[in-house]
Chains A and B, each alone.
Chain A
Amino acid sequence: MIKLEHISKSFKTKNNSVCALDDISLEIHDGEIFGIIGKSGVGKSTLLKILSLSMMYDTGTYTLMDIDVKTLTHKDKVKLLQNTSFIYQNFSLLYNLNVLDNVSLPLKLRGVDKLTRHQKAREMLAFVGLDSKALDYPITLSGGEAQRISIARALITDPKLLFLDEPTSALDEETAYDILKLIRKLHETFKPTIVFVSHQIQSIKYLCDRVMMLEDNKIKHIGKIDKLSTLSTTYDAIWGDIL
Chain B
Amino acid sequence: MIMFISQPDQLKLIDAALETFNLLLVSTFISLPIGTLLGMMFALYEKKVFHQFKSLVHILSILVSIIRSIPFVLLMVIIIPTSFDLFGTSIGFIPSIMALSLIGIATLARLVEQAIIDMNPMIFDIAHSMGASKYQLFKEFIFVEARSSIILAFTSFIVSLLAYSSVVYIIGGGGLGYTAIQIGYYSPVGKTLMWASTIIMILIVQVVQLLGNILANYLNKKKRGH
* A206 contacts B by Cβ under 8 Å: no
Q: State which of A82, A92, A96 has its C-beta within 8 Å of the C-beta of B126.
A: A92
Closest to A84 in B: B129
Interface of chain B residues 168 through 221 with chain A (CB within 8 A):
219-221
Range of interface residues on chain B? 20 to 34
Establish whether residues B132 and A96, one from each chain, have CB atoms under 8 Å apart when the complex forms: no
Establish whether residues A109 and B140, one from each chain, have CB atoms under 8 Å apart when the complex forms: yes
Chain A nearest CB from B160 CB (Å) reads 26
Establish whether residues A109 and B221, one from each chain, have CB atoms under 8 Å apart when the complex forms: no
CA distance A14 to B126 in the complex (A): 29
Known: A81-B130, A96-B145, A96-B147. A88 touches B125 (CB 8 A): yes
* B122 contacts A by Cβ under 8 Å: yes
Residues of B within 8 A of A163 (CB): 129
Known: A88-B122, A139-B222. A96 touches B130 (CB 8 A): no
Establish whether residues A79 and B145, one from each chain, have CB atoms under 8 Å apart when the complex forms: no
Establish whether residues A79 and B131, one from each chain, have CB atoms under 8 Å apart when the complex forms: yes
CA distance A96 to B140 in the complex (A): 11
- Give the tally of cross-chain contacts (CB within 8 A): 63
Q: State which of B122, B145, B224 has its C-beta within 8 Å of the C-beta of A139.
A: B224
Range of interface residues on chain A? 20 to 34
Known: A95-B222, A96-B219, A96-B222. A54 touches B131 (CB 8 A): no
Interface of chain A residues 108 through 155 with chain B (CB within 8 A):
108-109, 137, 139-140
* A202 contacts B by Cβ under 8 Å: no
* A94 contacts B by Cβ under 8 Å: yes
CA distance A54 to B226 in the complex (A): 34
CA distance A109 to B132 in the complex (A): 6
Chain B nearest CB from A102 CB (Å) reads 10
Known: A109-B136, A109-B140, A139-B226. A96 touches B129 (CB 8 A): no
Chain B nearest CB from A88 CB (Å) reads 7
Interface of chain B residues 43 through 61 with chain A (CB within 8 A):
none
Chain B nearest CB from A165 CB (Å) reads 10
13 contacts between A and B (CB under 8 A): A82-B131, A92-B125, A92-B126, A94-B126, A95-B145, A96-B221, A105-B140, A106-B130, A108-B140, A109-B140, A137-B221, A139-B226, A140-B224
